[in-house]
Structure 1
Amino acid sequence: MEQQMIPKKTFAVMGALDGFSGILQVFAATYLGGSILILLGQAAIPISMVISSIWLHTQYTNSQYFGAGIVTFGLIIVLGPNLSLAASNLQAIDFLDLETSNSFAWALVMILSCIPMCLSSVYKEKHLGEAEMDAIYLNGWVAIYQFIICLPLTIPIAMLGSPSVSPSELPSNLWNGFRCYLGHNSIYEEPYPDDCSRAPVYVTIYLFFNILYNILIIFILKFGSSNILYLAMTIMVPLGNVAFTFPFMPGHEPLASKDIFGLILIMLGLFVYRFFGELISKTMRSTRAQLFQECFDDEDILKRRTGEHSSELTEALIASSEPNERDIRVVQI
């Protein structure tokens, strides 16, 4: 098959980019709240557009810029209070305070994670356009190389964590994590004892949706583009706020009207970006075709009318050229 002829280094590059992006996002998610994570993740939109224009030489229409602007406006409406809070927090940062400065640093890490993520998406888009490839086949090989590349990175990453884990403690730490996935506690001491009773359910559900999510991303890149992918992912902003209204979510709060209005604007922006230009083009083509047909019909009518007038004129000329009886008598005399 054609997909089996693709060099495995292609999947290795995809796995490396996805792995680096995932590691940075896991670190950021540990120290940042859910709403700010969703906000910072929207940096992927301009980053993706810049990378696509440089690498794939993508050119954008006015309707696409307009659609992206509507999406941005919807995000500002939804995240306005969060932006104000983030600005006030930024002014209050004490860079000598380790925890506060770390929070600011992890926000930058989250933004930086969008760079390898967008590079991976554009790279996949490029190679999906060059060869016919099954989404599950691609996702499987990318996952294998992602695991191979990220496994040795666990050593420095564990040492950077809080609390840090030394290389000698890493094997037991990984083993205890696996036991927790199976539902067995390993730490019983206060203040943070294990509670792994529901871990198998939650982790398995996460893995299922994560695999489904990655497969759907491949389909979007295959039949769309990386720009459409990240514009579509902006829907997570208002939907994330909806999810935080559920009572079982940590820090849940009621749904605000701005979330509903922002969701409508984001959906409108996505429609304008994806379909408005095509609708305008189709409408203009249809209008030109209709005008051409009307002109053709008018020309045909004009030809028929001209033909009728020409026939009448010809008959009149013939009639005028034929001698009448008076002329004949004159000639005879």
Structure 2
Amino acid sequence: MSNNDKEKQPLLSSINSDENNGANIKIVEPVPWYSKIKNSMSKETITILIYVVLYVCSGVINSVLLKKVMNKFTNYAFFLSQLTNFGYVPIFGAVTAYKIFFTNDIPKETRDFPTRKFAIMGALDAITGFFVVIGGVSTSGPLQQLLNQAIIPVTMITSFFFLKERYSFIQLGGALVIIGGVITSLIPSLVGGSGGNKPFWNFFYLLSVIPGSFSNVYKVVGFQAVDDMDVWYLQYWDSLYQSIFGIFLFPINNWLPPPATIKFNQILPFMKEGAECLAGINTILPSYYTYPNGTESFTVNSCTYDPKAALICDDCHNAWIAIILYMSINIVYNIFILLVLKHAGATVYSIANTLRLPLTNIAFSIPFIMGAAVSPFSPLSVAGLVIILVGLGGYRVGSMVKQKKDAAAASGQVKVIPSYGPAGMDNVMPVQKQFIEPKSQAHLRNSFFGKLGIAVPEAKYRAANNNNYGDV
């Protein structure tokens, strides 16, 4: 081949020519980005993504339906609290009975577990649910979601004193930011109220995080020796004791302002009216006065449909449908909690739970979903949401870093620390920190499964993975 021919030949053509001594170099086409993602998606990864998406979606729907149910039973919050407590007892009881008599899922060792521990857990969850439902009827949906995040710093405080847990500066910083976000979220309510929010009931709802945090800590202490507690068995006893203890909370309503006021001699008529509301019958209705000329007007003490009014009229139409939908999606939602924890772990669950917060607040602001109970965002609400998300992110990062350090120490690494000997002589001694083997994933999944419908921080689940009370 002449020099002129070589100059005219394409640059890559000579690669496959005979002058390369038979060498054959194959040109590789670049792989599209979507093909790389597809090739990296294993069946297990796809399954986890499906579970996470379904968990987030069912969680948003669960929160929306809970607020809709609260709106239906605005005047019968205590009845709603008892209804949601007792409503789960036959469901969990039927499944538990089937497992005991027809399967080996609940062995005798599990049935011999002291029920007094279930009673303590049920009592704490009953108090938590009381504050949530009673305070929730006058707390908007978005504010409920933001106030729920306060359980993280409160649980950290209770764990510090009762479990001797210590936290990193990143975790502490994240918790402080969350507190700042909660305070910011409460400002619109304090300066005049918005979306039906009333300061007294907002703080009443916020108090639910205190017994909730004690419940989280007790689950770490009371169930640490259980290797594989069946979740249906646990929830049956929890809901049963929660229902029993919930009955004895009604005297508190004697001193609460409307619409939660229930005098001691009114409890039976009140429960009857709550049952009628469940059946779709309205009891508290607007009162009219008819003038001689035939015109009508509201009486002075008549109820109104204004969420800011002292006495709100009943809106019990299709209340029983709302209850059934809520309880059904609530069970589905908690099933996906278990699936995400089982297949993806607490870290992915925490990320999904953080993502669920803004999506839920967006849902509460859509008129098509919430109707007349829509809660549009105020600038301070948006600011509170952003601050809490930043705090949650910092807390998650701090928890992950601390978890890695604990895991590295548990793997047998030796930590060298200075030790000061007699006569001022400095010695360097290797100290091996002793760790207990982590528990099984089944223990992580089942033992510390929280009360249905109440969000809990992922730290509770990670705590179950270390008997030395790790990251709580």
Q: CA deviation at 1:251?
A: 3.2
> Which of 131, 136, 149 is the equivalent residue of 1:42?
149
Which residue does 1:167 correspond to in 2?
Answer: 264
> Which of 16, 24, 27 is the equivalent residue of 2:131?
24
Does residue 272 in structure 1 map to residue 397 in structure 2? Answer: yes
Does residue 119 in structure 1 map to residue 232 in structure 2? Answer: no
Which residue does 1:82 correspond to in 2?
Answer: 185
1:251 alignment partner AA: V
Helix, strand or coil at the partner of 1:16: helix
Which residue does 1:8 correspond to in 2?
Answer: 115
> Which of 217, 226, 231 is the equivalent residue of 1:135?
231
Deviations 1:210-255 (A, max 9, x none): 4455677789999999999999866554233212232132234379
Distance 1:227 1:186, change over 3 A: farther
Which residue does 1:326 correspond to in 2?
Answer: none
> Which of 223, 243, 257 is the equivalent residue of 2:363?
243
Which residue does 1:109 correspond to in 2?
Answer: 204
Identity %: 28
Does residue 207 in structure 1 map to residue 327 in structure 2? Answer: yes
CA distance in 2, matches of 1:223, 1:122: 24
Deviations 1:36-57 (A, max 9, x none): 3333333221210121222222
8 Å contact kept, 2:153–2:175: no
Which residue does 2:376 correspond to in 1?
Answer: 253
CA distance in 1, matches of 2:182, 2:142: 9
2:250 alignment partner AA: T
CA distance in 2, matches of 1:144, 1:155: 20
Q: CA deviation at 1:204?
A: 1.5
Deviations 1:57-87 (A, max 9, x none): 2233x3xx425635764786x7786355467
Q: CA deviation at 1:183?
A: 3.0
Helix, strand or coil at the partner of 1:118: helix
Helix, strand or coil at the partner of 1:168: helix
Q: TM (normalized to structure 1)?
A: 0.63
Unaligned runs of 5+ in 1: 94-101, 289-333
Helix, strand or coil at the partner of 2:265: coil
CA distance in 1, matches of 2:350, 2:121: 17
Distance 1:130 1:137, change over 3 A: same
8 Å contact kept, 2:285–2:314: yes
Deviations 1:130-174 (A, max 9, x none): 113112211111111111111132244256351433333322321
Higher relative contact order (CA 8 A, sep 6+): 1
8 Å contact kept, 2:145–2:361: no
Q: Which moved more, 1:154-163 or 1:169-178?
A: 154-163
Deviations 1:264-294 (A, max 9, x none): 74674465244344557889999x9xxxxxx
Deviations 1:2-50 (A, max 9, x none): 2211211111111111111221222322333334333333322121012
CA distance in 2, matches of 1:5, 1:122: 22
Helix, strand or coil at the partner of 1:32: coil
* Aligned residues: CA RMSD: 4.6
Q: Could you say which structure has the higher helix fraction? A: 1
Q: Which moved more, 1:2-11 or 1:166-175?
A: 166-175
Q: How many correspondences in the alignment?
A: 272
1:7 alignment partner AA: P
Give runs of aligned pairs for residues 50-65 of structure 1, distance below 5 A. Answer: 50-60=157-167, 62=168, 65=169
CA distance in 1, matches of 2:263, 2:385: 47
8 Å contact kept, 1:52–1:58: yes
1:272 alignment partner AA: V
8 Å contact kept, 1:17–1:120: yes
Distance 1:75 1:207, change over 3 A: same
8 Å contact kept, 1:125–1:226: no
Q: Which moved more, 1:216-225 or 1:113-122?
A: 216-225
Q: Which moved more, 1:3-12 or 1:184-193?
A: 184-193
Give runs of aligned pairs for residues 176-187 of structure 1, distance below 5 A. Answer: 176-187=273-284
8 Å contact kept, 1:16–1:149: yes
CA distance in 2, matches of 1:124, 1:227: 19
1:137 alignment partner AA: Y
Unaligned runs of 5+ in 2: 1-107, 288-302, 305-312, 414-472
CA distance in 2, matches of 1:268, 1:186: 47
Higher gyration radius (CA):
1
8 Å contact kept, 2:150–2:182: no
